[in-house]
Amino acid sequence: MSEVEHIVQIPVGPQHPMLKEPESFMIDLRGEKIDAVRMRFGYNHRGIEKGCEQRTYTQDLYLVERVCGICSYSHSTAFVQAVEEIAGLEIPPRARYIRTLVAELERIHSHLLWLGVAGHEIGFDTLLMYTWRDREQVMILLAELTGNRVNYGLNTLGGVRRDITAEQMPSILKVVNALEERTKYYIEVAQTEETLRQRLAGVGKLSKEDAARLGAVGPTARASGVDRDTRRDDPYAAYADVSFKVITDQHCDVFGRTLVRVGELMESYSIIRQLLKKIPEGPILVKAPRKIPEGEAVSRYEAPRGEDVHYVRGNGTDKPERVKVRAPTLANTQAVAKMLEDGYLADLPIVIAAIDPCFSCTDRMIGIKNPGKGERRTMSWEEVSRYGVDFYKRKGIDPSRINLRGGSAA
Amino acid sequence: MTAVLALFQMLIFPGFVFLIVLGLAGQFVDRKLYARLQNRVGPPWFQPVADFFKLLGKETVVPEEADSRMFRMAPVFALGAVIASSFYIPLWSAQPLFSFEGDLIVVLYLLLIPTLMYFLGGWYSRSVYSTLGAVRSITQLFAYEIPLLIAVISPALLANTWSISGMVRYYSAHPGRWLFNIVGFAVAIITLLGKLERVPFDIPEAETEIVAGTFTEYSGRFLAFFRLAIDTEAIVAASLVVAVFLPFGFGLAPWLAFIVYLAKILAILAVLALLRTVFARLRLDQMIDFCWKVVAPVAFLQVLADLVLKELT
């Protein structure tokens, strides 16, 4: 073939069966091979960070929890940890243990969910049906412990809102034991199923150097041999009291990422058993002040998808001055472009899915792209606000008289 | 009178209407088994019929860019070719509706038309997903069609005839000899997965990559007829495999032979559903590699075995 080859442009997203959330991937295709990928994020921007500034800390807890539907507890805990650091609160040990327990249960449900999604992306729906059926057990357990399947609403400033009763412990162990059996089976399937191995091995290569350079986090980084886990490196909650292995893998591909996740499932079961053995008696809550003093804090948290970072700045009132969320998917998106280089179109879904993307967590800013010129710039909050005002003014409605906080609307 | 009888046979039983009923029933069996194997409940028995009529009632959108005539013709041609090919296949009596020396090739040729129609339908839809699906389905065709042809020809070599009914008669006269073709049978089942575009060879309609492939732009009654063509193709292709590779029970009383035929078709559908459950979708290059490097040589082995056997007997 000559240099002038036909390049087909395929839009994957914003609406596409592969994606569970709207994001846009524009793919230049040379036959079945990917020539270039252009990603465009921002379809899910909800202004949560700004919203946090207009609510009290307690209200923010519930808002931040809704950053993501899957790792809701990660965001809520990361946020509450930052606030507690500013306020200088020392939460009771039992609350730390309960937080760790729910965090690990969340990791289990998230990783099982991922395994199913990965199966679906490579046309292996049976795996999807099996893992999601098993995941239901941990979902029911979470509902039993916290009252909700997702968005548990368990955290509060200074501790947790619900205690774990002695009767609940055996049912946790029962679910953990059952899921451990199932996970062993999935490990066996992942290692022996031929079509599965063919579709996963060697796909979406990301070398250790690239993973470190592009700032990959979580299982994506660990599958490339980057030994990094916030739970061990910067222990929070009760992670300092339990022993666990940080699972790494040298495959550097989607297969490695699968092995890391199923390996982490096994570690989670062991962590939960240790927690249940060691959990101390005592209160679950200390009284938190309504007004948080001036100060700022960064909280790191190992979410199922990788390191989640929350930054909070308090100004002495009951509302935060600034909240900033850095979700793990944002850290991993850079790596995706690298992984897709020279890949096949058929591998695109599984490569993107392999970072376990959660775009609603990621969308934090509004990027304006001028399709004609291909230029890109970011709108500031004032610009967005002014744009909105102008938009309605053109329609004959004048919202500029409405007094918004900070008066930036005019 | 014979003309009326022939027309009845072609249009009602065992032709058009019968095959469509069987096709829809086959779809149900496939979906139910697939669901049960995946620990799901699965659809009720009338679901395929309900789906068909639902699609008939839906709005039919023909894309502005598409070649309207080709777009509309493709599903009808696909269905027509499938039904036509069934006339030459002995279903439960050794004598099909029509037969002549060489009808084996005609049947294989007619069964190729649906795939060509998927290609043309997708190609003339003019959307990127459809075009890609169309190209994939024609690329895949070159991978599975040759092994399938070789596998189906080898029993014919042993029987020394090019007509399917002749083959059935030969194997009925020499019971047990069909066992020699068991390898070819396996090859035929594998290639059938490609022909019917099922997992692991559902590459042309890989949902997570190219939406619905060829059928992305199809809606309403055109989609209904495409789906019907696929269901019927599954039955007709299974009938061909049954006639060629499992040629027993044709000499029984008609009602008993009919039951044996249904049981055989059911078994083939069950195997296809099982394979669909346990595999992940392969990539196009892997599929072509597999078909040419593994399946085709095995099919040639079958030819060799049949030629040697023919010399010995």
pLDDT score for A199: 81
pLDDT in tens, A267-309: 999 999 999 888 888 888 888 888 888 888 899 898 888 888 8
Judged by average pLDDT, the poorest of A318-322, A378-382, B22-26 is A378-382
Domain hosting B282: range is 2-312
Task: Evaluate if residue A368 carries a pLDDT over 70.
Answer: no
pLDDT tens, position by position, B116-148: 988 888 888 888 888 888 888 888 888 898 899
Chain B residues in contact with A343 (beta carbon < 8 A): none
Percent of chain A with pLDDT over 70: 89
- Tell me how far CA of residue B272 lies from CA of A159, B51, B189, in angstroms: 55, 22, 8
Q: Specify the pLDDT at position B49.
A: 92
Residue B105 CB neighbours (<10 A)? 14
pLDDT digits (tens, 9 = 90+) for B180-202: 888 889 999 999 888 888 878 88
The answer on pLDDT for B232 being more than 70 is yes
Q: What's the whole-number mean pLDDT along residues B163-175?
A: 84
Residue A161: give its domain's CATH number: 1.10.645.10
Residue B204 vs residue A369, higher pLDDT: B204
Closest CA to A226 of A183, A256, A266, A263: A256
State yes or no: pLDDT of A407 exceeds 50: no
Which residue range(s) make up the domain with A353? Answer: 48-362
What is the pLDDT, as a whole number, of residue B270? Answer: 92
Interface A-B: count of C-beta contacts within 8 A: 82
The tokens describing B250, both together, are 């044709």
Mean pLDDT value across residues A189-217: 83
A313 has pLDDT over 70: yes
**CB within 8 Å: B208 and A123:** yes
Residue B105: which H helix or E strand, with range? helix B103-123
The overall average pLDDT reported for chain A is: 82
- pLDDT, one tens digit per residue, over B4-30 is 888 877 777 777 888 889 999 999 999
Q: How is residue A283 written in tokens?
A: 């209160």
**Residues A308, A261 within the same domain:** yes
- Across the interface, whether the CB atoms of B281 and A196 are under 8 A apart is answered no
Task: Give the C-alpha separation, A39 to A23, whole Å.
Answer: 8
| Predicted pLDDT of residue A400 | 62
Residues A185 and A237 in one domain: yes
Strand ranges (DSSP E) for chain B? none
| Cβ pair B283:A16 closer than 8 A | no
Which pLDDT score, from 0 to 100, does residue A315 have?
Answer: 87
Predicted confidence at residue A10, as pLDDT, reads 81
Q: What is the pLDDT of residue A289?
A: 86
pLDDT-based confidence at A374, cuts 50/70/90?
low
Instruction: Please give the ipTM for the structure prediction.
Output: 0.80
Comparison of pLDDT for B98 and B271, the residue scoring more? B271
φ, ψ for residue A8, nearest 5 deg: -95, 135
pLDDT at A271: 92
Q: What pLDDT shows up at residue A402?
A: 56
- Say if B269 is an interface residue toward chain A (CB within 8 Å): no
Q: Lowest mean pLDDT: which of B91-105, B119-133, B228-242?
A: B91-105
> What would the mean pLDDT of B70-83 be, rounded to a whole number?
88
Task: Return the amino acid letter for B176.
Answer: G
The percent of residues above 70 in pLDDT, for chain B, comes to: 100
Same domain, A318 and A407: no
Q: Are residues A94 and A60 in the same domain?
A: yes
Residues A181 and A291 occupy one common structural domain: yes
B36 — contact with chain A (CB < 8 Å)? no
Same domain, residue pair A355 and A405:
no
Binned at pLDDT 50, 70 and 90, residue A406 comes out as very low
pLDDT of residue A5: 62
Same domain (yes/no): A325, A395: no
- State pLDDT tens for residues A259-278: 899 899 999 999 999 998 88
Residue A214's nearest CA partner among A78, A111, A355 is: A355
Show Cβ contacts of residue B243 under 8 Å, excluding neighbours closer than 6 positions.
B89, B90, B91, B164, B167, B168
Chain B within 8 Å of A129 (Cβ-Cβ)? yes
**Banded model confidence at residue A375, pLDDT cuts 50, 70, 90:** low
**Within this chain, do residues A352 and A389 fall inside the same structural domain, yes or no?**
no
Which residues, 6 or more positions from A24, have their beta carbon under 8 angstroms from its beta carbon? A11, A12, A13, A14, A39, A40, A41, A43
H or E element in which residue B18 lies: helix B16-37
Does the pLDDT of residue B65 top 50, yes or no?
yes
Q: In which band, very low, low, confident or very high, does the pLDDT at A409 lie, cut at 50, 70 and 90?
A: very low
The percent of residues above 90 in pLDDT, for chain A, comes to: 9
Residues in chain A: 410
Exposure string of A92-113, with b = 16+ CB inside 10 Å and e = fewer, is: bbbbbbbbbbbbbbbbbbbbbb
Q: What does B271-286 look like in DSSP terms, one character per residue? A: HHHHHHHH-PPPPHHH
Residue A369 counted as domain residue: no
Selecting from A17, A126, A346 the residue whose C-beta is nearest the C-beta of B284 gives A346
pLDDT digits (tens, 9 = 90+) for A64-94: 888 888 888 888 999 999 999 898 888 899 9
Is the minimum CB–CB distance between A125 and chain B shorter than 8 Å?
Answer: yes
Chain A residues in contact with B190 by the CB 8 A cut-off are none
Residues A353 and A387 occupy one common structural domain? no
What is the rounded CA–CA span in Å between residue B184 and residue B300?
9
Domain total of chain B: 1
Q: What average pLDDT score do residues A16-34 get?
A: 79
Q: Which of residues 170-229 of B touch A (CB under 8 A)?
A: 199-200, 202-203, 206-211
The whole-number pLDDT of residue A28 equals 84
User: Would the CB atoms of A124 and B281 count as touching at under 8 Å?
Assistant: yes
Interval A314-340 mean pLDDT: 85
pLDDT of residue A405: 46
Residues A225 and A268 in one domain: yes
A32–B contact, CB cutoff 8 A: yes
Look at chain A and report how many structural domains it folds into: 2
B283 near A CB under 8 A: yes
Identify the pLDDT of residue A378. Answer: 62
Is residue A410 pLDDT above 50, yes or no? no
DSSP-assigned letters across all residues of A295-361: EEEEEEEEETTEEEEEEEEE-SSSSEEEEEEE-HHHHHHHHHHHHHTT-BGGGHHHHHHHT---HHH
